Amino acid sequence: MSRFGPVVTAMITPMRDTGAVDYDEAGRLAAWLCERGTTGLVIAGTTGESPTLSDEEKLRLFVAVAQAVRGKAKVIANTGGNDTHHSVELSKKAEQCGVDALLLVGPYYNKPPQAGLIEHFTAIADAVKTPIAIYNIPGRTAVNILPDTIVSLSKHPLIVAVKESSGDLMQIAEIIARVAPDFDVYSGDDHLTLPIAAIGGRGIVSVISHVAGEDVRAMLDAFQAGDSGRAAALHAKLLPLCKALFAVTSPIPVKAAMRRFGFATGRCRPPLCPLNAEQERALDAAIAPWLRTLAAAPAR
C-alpha cells in the first residue's frame, strides 16, 4: 500500500476575477475531489500554477486545503525550486501548515549535474521532518533525474517517493526494480497510468482526476484486483480525456473544465492564456460524458 494512495490529484488553484487566489474555493474543490476517488492532493504544483504563486500564497493554500480535507486525503505541498536555500526555507515553513508530505521538483533552468541534484534534495531532506516525494519532469526542467540518482536519494529516510514524468518506461522500470519495496514510484503522466502500474508503479499523480477521478481509481483498483480487461477498458475510455486536457499547455484546459463542473476557478495567470473558441468546443466534447454522469448522480 502506497503512502498517498493510488490517485493523487495535482490540484488547480482557483482564482478570482482579479487574479487573487480564492482560498475558500480551493478548500471546496479539495473536499469535492476527495469524494470522487482522490486519495492525495498536490497543492501549488505545476497544475496549481506554482511559477506565478508567491510563497505567502502557497503557504495559505497549504493551510486552507489541509483544513478542508481534514484527513480525508494526504496533502502534499510543492516546495521545490531551483534555489536550494529558498527551497529549504519554504519547505520548513510548509511543514508547519499541517501538510503530510513535500513535493520537490528537479531544479529547472540552471541544469545542475546529477551530483548537484543529490546535494540539492539531500539538503532539503536534512532540514525537515516531513516525508518527501521527488518530481522528475525533464520536459519542463531541462534536466533528467537519472535512475542512479533516484536510487541514491531513496536511501534517505525521508525521501519516500518519486513522481516520474520522464515518459521513459525503460527508466521507470529500472527505478522500480532497484529501489526498496517501500519506495513509491508514481506515474506523472495520465496516459501512462496503467502501463506504469503494470511494471510496479503505485499510482498516478493526475490531472484528469479532476474530471474523472472515480474512473481513474476504478481502473487502478481493477488492475490490482487482477481484472486486466476492465482496467484496459477504462484506460481506453480515459485516453480521449487525457488528450483533451493536454491539448494546450496544462493547466489551461483543466482549469476551464472545472468551471463546467461549477467551480469558480478563474483564468490562469499570465503568461498562460485562455482557450480559444475552437479549443473550448473540443474540451466540451471530451468532458461531456463526465458532466452527464455528474448531472445524473444523486446529491452527496
Give catalytic residue positions.
135, 163
> In degrees rounded to 5, what are phi and psi of residue 8?
-105, 115
Spatial contact of 210 and 244, defined as CB atoms under 8 Å apart: no
Residue by residue, what is the 3-state secondary structure of the chain? CCCCCCEEEECCCCECCCCCECHHHHHHHHHHHHCCCCCEEEECCCCCCHHHCCHHHHHHHHHHHHHHHCCCCEEEEECCCCCHHHHHHHHHHHCCCCCCEEEEECCCCCCCCHHHHHHHHHHHHHHCCCCEEEEECHHHHCCCCCHHHHHHHCCCCCEEEEEECCCCHHHHHHHHHHCCCCCEEEECCHHHHHHHHHCCCCEEEECCHHHHHHHHHHHHHHHHCCCHHHHHHHHHHHHHHHHHHCCCCCCHHHHHHHHHCCCCCCCCCCCCCCCCHHHHHHHHHHHHHHHHHHHHCCCC
- C-alpha–C-alpha distance, residues 219 and 72, integer Å: 21
